[in-house]
Amino acid sequence: MTFTPRAAWADTPEPVRAAVAGALGAAIDGHTDLHGGMSPGPAVGLRLADGRQVFVKAVSAEVRVHNHAMIRQEAGILDILPPTVPAPRRLATVEHGPWIALATTWAPGATADRWTDASIAAVAQACRAANAHRAPGVLPPVAERIFDFNGWTRLIALGTGDEWETTHAGAAAEVVAGWERWTAGDALVHRDIRLDNTAVGARAVLLDWAYAAAGAPWIDLAQLAADVVATGHVLGPQAATDRAHRLLRTLPPEASRFVVGLAGMWSIRAATIPDTVMPDISVWRRARSAALRPLVAHLIDDHRG
């Protein structure tokens, strides 16, 4: 689906662009606007006069204060990731008035619209490489970076939206219960694995590290499984659900419980959080939760044994 378009780099105030060039130590010779993700600020590939290609994302706190905070948070996280984590490296952070801009190394590869078996394999490998690290001590427990995970319980209280929810919400809420405990761990977790947060070339690089945390080592792979279904596979919904099952079969049962929790999170957020800056997000959340229904129904049955 298409979102409210991101702002264009050319519309970023000139002093901000000049400050980015200054911090990078080279003039900007050309740029390509990027369209992935769901933030209102610009994301861009810059060609520098010294031949480098770099990535920059920026936002004004006046546009959306949350994204401003997330860029600052990500800048700090990139600096503490071990060098063996498949992530971009921070090159510069610029703050100018209400604006913040983060420049990182360019991650070669594509951010596609749909998963393929090759991109699933590459991203799964990148997740395993990242998750094999112990989380740096300053990262918070993952429970602090998971929001609205009691979505099924809240939906029951609020009134479920349709028959499917009425039938499944109770069992789903039971599956997710106690998530703060069973998601805990000391592995480095990216916590926001989605196709548009990856660059897949010969190998995959994980992008957008603002939510990194310490948690159970299977969380990113569970989120990958959910995203294959929610974002979609080039071979269609059945293939997506099948690939998610295949991934989840390699993981502990908690990974399946996590997928059920994500579906409830998207449902409750779609039902309760209006977004005036990017109203499409509610539609997107609802669509993700709906796409996950066949998988979630299956996982609930599995959980009951």
Under the rule (CB under 5 A), what is the footprint of Mg ion?
37, 197, 208
CB of 34 to ligand ATP, least distance (A): 4
Contact between 43 and ligand ATP by CB under 6 A: the answer reads yes
Stretch that binds ligand ATP, among 10-18, 99-107, 223-231, 268-276 (CB under 6 A): 99-107
Provide the CA 246 distance to its chain's centre, in angstroms. Answer: 21
Q: Which is nearer to Mg ion, 265 or 299 (CB)?
A: 265
Comparing CA positions, the residue from 221, 260, 31, 230 lying closest to residue 113 is 230
CB of 184 to Mg ion, least distance (A): 25
Contact between 119 and ligand ATP by CB under 6 A: the answer reads no
Task: Give strand pairing partners of 163.
Answer: none
Residue from 19, 23, 38, 290 that binds ligand ATP (CB under 6 A)? 38
Contact between 292 and ligand ATP by CB under 6 A: the answer reads no
For residues 42 and 194, what is the distance between their CA atoms, to the nearest angstrom?
19
Q: Which is nearer to Mg ion, 74 or 254 (CB)?
A: 74
Contact between 39 and ligand ATP by CB under 6 A: the answer reads yes
CB-based contact 115:57 (threshold 8 Å): no
CB of 119 to ligand ATP, least distance (A): 13
Comparing CA positions, the residue from 201, 223, 228, 227 lying closest to residue 211 is 223
Residue from 135, 169, 172, 199 that binds ligand ATP (CB under 6 A)? 199
CA dihedral 124, 126, 127, 129 (to 10 degrees): 120
Contact between 193 and ligand ATP by CB under 6 A: the answer reads no
Contact between 185 and ligand ATP by CB under 6 A: the answer reads no
Selection from ligand ATP, Mg ion, none that 57 binds (CB < 5 to 8 A by kind) is ligand ATP
| Exposure class string for 233-253: b at 16+ Cβ within 10 A, else e | beeeeebbbbbbbebbeebee
- Which token pair is 62? 């006046």
For residues 130 and 289, what is the distance between their CA atoms, to the nearest angstrom?
27
CB-based contact 100:94 (threshold 8 Å): yes
Long-range contacts of 232-240 (CB under 8 A, 24+ apart): 232/113, 232/114, 232/115, 232/291, 233/114, 233/115, 233/116, 233/120, 234/114, 234/115, 234/116, 237/291, 237/294, 240/115, 240/291
Contact between 111 and ligand ATP by CB under 6 A: the answer reads yes
Q: Which is nearer to ligand ATP, 207 or 262 (CB)?
A: 207
CB of 241 to Mg ion, least distance (A): 24
Q: Give the N- to C-terminal CA distance of the chain in Å, as an integer.
A: 36
For residues 274 and 270, what is the distance between their CA atoms, to the nearest angstrom?
8
User: Total residues at the site for ligand ATP (CB under 6 A)?
Assistant: 18
CB of 89 to ligand ATP, least distance (A): 9
Q: Which is nearer to ligand ATP, 17 or 57 (CB)?
A: 57
Residue from 17, 46, 55, 75 that binds ligand ATP (CB under 6 A)? 55
CB of 170 to Mg ion, least distance (A): 33
Which residues form the interface with ligand ATP (CB under 6 A)?
A: 34, 36-39, 43, 55, 57, 88, 104, 106-107, 111, 196-197, 199, 207-208
